[in-house]
Amino acid sequence: MTQPSVPKKRILSGVQPSGKLHLGNYLGAVRQHIAAQNEGECHYFIADYHALTTVHDPAALRAHVLDVALDYFSLGLDPEKTIFFRQSDIPEVCELSWILSTVAPMGLLEKAVSYKEKVEKGLDSSVGLFTYPVLMAADILAYRSHLVPVGRDQVQHLEITRDLAVKFNNRFGDTFPLPDYRLTPASKVPGTDGQKMSKSYGNTIDIFAEGKALKKAVMGVVTDSKTVEEAKDPSTCTVFALHALFATPEQGEELKERYQAGGMGYGAAKTELLALIDQHFAQAREKRRELAKDMGQISEWLRQGALKARAVAGATLDLVRSRCGLR
C-alpha cells in the first residue's frame, strides 16, 4: 500500500485538561505551541484520554477541556492555521495504541520514570497509567509527526515513541518517521514553593488569575528569612527565578543588583513580579472574556479540528492495518 504523503514538517503536542493551565504550562508548552504555528503543519490536542488517569469527575473533565481550549485561543492559537482538537474525538489513536502495544517490550515500559514517580506520589497504579507512554506514542505516530515540543519530564516518553516506531518499522516495513523533540529554555518553571510548578504539588500560578487570586499566589511565593537590609542571592530565590521569565534583560539585571546590594525586601520583589505577570497576560485576558461569551464557537473550532485530524489519523491507520495484515 502506498504511504500517505506527509508535509515536510509536521509538529505535534498535547496538553492534559487536568485543571486550570498555569505558568508552568504556558512557559513550558503553550507559548512554544503558539510560536510554532508558522513553522510547519501543527497538530495540537487536548489529552482527555490521558487525563482519565487522574480526573474521575465527568463534569469537571468536560469543563477542563473547554477551559483549555478557551485559554489556547485567547493566547493566540489560530484555528485557521493550526489543527486543534480533543484527543477523544480521534478513536484511531486507541486502535493504534493497541497495535503498538503488541510490539512494546514490558521492560521498556517498566523503565518509565514518570510512572514510578506518579505511583510514589499516590496515584493508582492502573494499567492506563502504566501504558501511558504507548498511548502517547500513538498520539504522535498517528499523525506521522516529525517534531514534538515537550517539557524535560516527557523526553523519556519521546524516546519510547521512537523505540516503538523502530520496532514496528522493523517488523512490518517502513511506516513511521522517527519524531524528534524540542525543549524550551523554560521547560522547568518553579512553583510558589520552589519545586517544579505542578497542579499535583498545589504550587501553581494560573495563567489567567487576576486581582486578589493572582496577588495571593504571588505574595505566597516562599523565600528565605533574610531581612530587608541584608544582601540576597538571586540564584537561589524563587521570586527572582519567576521574575526572570517575564522581565526584560535590563529589568532582570536591575533586580539582581538590588538583591546583591541589600536594602530591598522580598515583598518589593514580589510586587514587581505581580505587575509583570499581570501586564504580560492583560491583552489575552481581555480576549478570553470576549471569546467566553460564545462557547459554541469554541466547540465548533474543536469539531472542525477533529475532522481534519481524523482524516490524517485515518490515512495512517489504513496503512498500519494493511502492513499488519488486518486488511
Task: Identify the weakest region by mean pLDDT among 133-137, 150-154, 184-188, 260-264.
Answer: 184-188
Is residue 245 situated within a structural domain? yes
pLDDT of residue 46: 98
Alpha helices in the chain (DSSP H): 23-25, 31-35, 48-51, 58-74, 92-101, 106-110, 113-120, 127-130, 132-141, 155-172, 211-219, 238-246, 249-261, 266-280, 282-291, 295-324
Per-residue pLDDT tens digits for 24-55: 999 988 998 999 999 999 999 999 999 998 89
Q: Based on the domain organization, do 301 and 174 belong to the same domain?
A: yes
**Given the residues 9, 188, 199, 308, the one annotated as active site:** 199
pLDDT of residue 126: 87
9 — alpha (psi -120 to 50), left (phi > 0) or beta? beta
Q: Based on the domain organization, do 237 and 316 belong to the same domain?
A: no
Percent of the chain with pLDDT over 90: 80
115: nearest Cα among 95, 132, 91? 132
User: Across all residues in the chain, what is the average pLDDT?
Assistant: 93
188 assigned to active site: no
Q: Based on the domain organization, do 180 and 319 belong to the same domain?
A: yes
246 — alpha (psi -120 to 50), left (phi > 0) or beta? alpha
Q: Based on the domain organization, do 300 and 155 belong to the same domain?
A: yes
Of residues 6 and 21, more confidence is placed in 21
Q: Do you know the residue count of the chain?
A: 327
User: Counting Cβ atoms within 10 Å, is residue 183 exposed (0-12), middle (13-18) or buried (19+)?
Assistant: middle
Is residue 216 situated within a structural domain? yes
pTM above 0.75, yes or no: yes
Give the C-alpha separation, 121 to 136, whole Å. Answer: 21
pLDDT of residue 1: 55
Is the pLDDT at 301 greater than 90, yes or no?
yes
Task: Identify the weakest region by mean pLDDT among 18-27, 149-158, 249-258, 275-284.
Answer: 149-158
Is residue 234 situated within a structural domain? yes
Q: What is the CATH number of the domain that holds 248?
A: 1.10.240.10
Q: Which three cell numbers stand for residue 105?
A: 517490550
Task: Using DSSP, state whether 93 is helix, strand or coil.
Answer: helix
pLDDT of residue 226: 96
Task: Using DSSP, state whether 151 is helix, strand or coil.
Answer: coil
Q: Based on the domain organization, do 173 and 24 belong to the same domain?
A: yes
**In the structure, what pLDDT confidence band is assigned to residue 6 with cuts at 50, 70 and 90?**
low
**CA dihedral for 295, 296, 301, 305, sign (positive or negative):** positive
Is the pLDDT at 283 greater than 60, yes or no?
yes
pLDDT of residue 3: 59
81 assigned to active site: no
pLDDT of residue 185: 66
Q: Based on the domain organization, do 138 and 35 belong to the same domain?
A: yes
Which structural domain, as residue segments, surrounds residue 223?
A: 209-280
Q: Based on the domain organization, do 180 and 231 belong to the same domain?
A: no
Give the C-alpha separation, 288 to 284, whole Å. Answer: 6
Q: Based on the domain organization, do 152 and 271 belong to the same domain?
A: no
pLDDT of residue 199: 85
Per-residue pLDDT tens digits for 151-182: 777 889 999 999 999 999 999 999 999 999 98
Q: What is the CATH number of the domain that holds 167?
A: 3.40.50.620
Is residue 197 situated within a structural domain? no
Is residue 5 situated within a structural domain? no
Is the pLDDT at 187 greater than 80, yes or no?
no
pLDDT of residue 200: 77
β-pair type (10-15, 41-46): parallel
**In the structure, what pLDDT confidence band is assigned to residue 5 with cuts at 50, 70 and 90?**
low
Is residue 261 situated within a structural domain? yes
- Beta bridge partner(s), residue 46: 15, 86
Q: Based on the domain organization, do 117 and 229 belong to the same domain?
A: no
**Given the residues 116, 118, 121, 216, the one annotated as active site:** 118
Percent of the chain with pLDDT over 70: 96
Q: Based on the domain organization, do 54 and 131 belong to the same domain?
A: yes
Per-residue pLDDT tens digits for 199-239: 878 999 999 999 999 999 999 999 999 999 999 999 999 99
Mean pLDDT along residues 180-208? 87
Is residue 64 situated within a structural domain? yes
Number of domains in the chain: 2
**Given the residues 196, 212, 215, 287, the one annotated as active site:** 196
**In the structure, what pLDDT confidence band is assigned to residue 118 with cuts at 50, 70 and 90?**
confident
pLDDT of residue 111: 87
Q: Based on the domain organization, do 107 and 151 belong to the same domain?
A: yes
Is residue 168 situated within a structural domain? yes
Per-residue pLDDT tens digits for 65-113: 999 999 999 999 999 999 999 999 999 999 999 999 999 999 999 888 8
Beta sheet of 180-182, edge-to-edge order: 83-86, 41-46, 10-15, 147-149, 180-182
pLDDT of residue 198: 87
Task: Using DSSP, state whether 194 is helix, strand or coil.
Answer: coil
42: nearest Cα among 19, 70, 11? 11
196 assigned to active site: yes
Q: Based on the domain organization, do 152 and 70 belong to the same domain?
A: yes
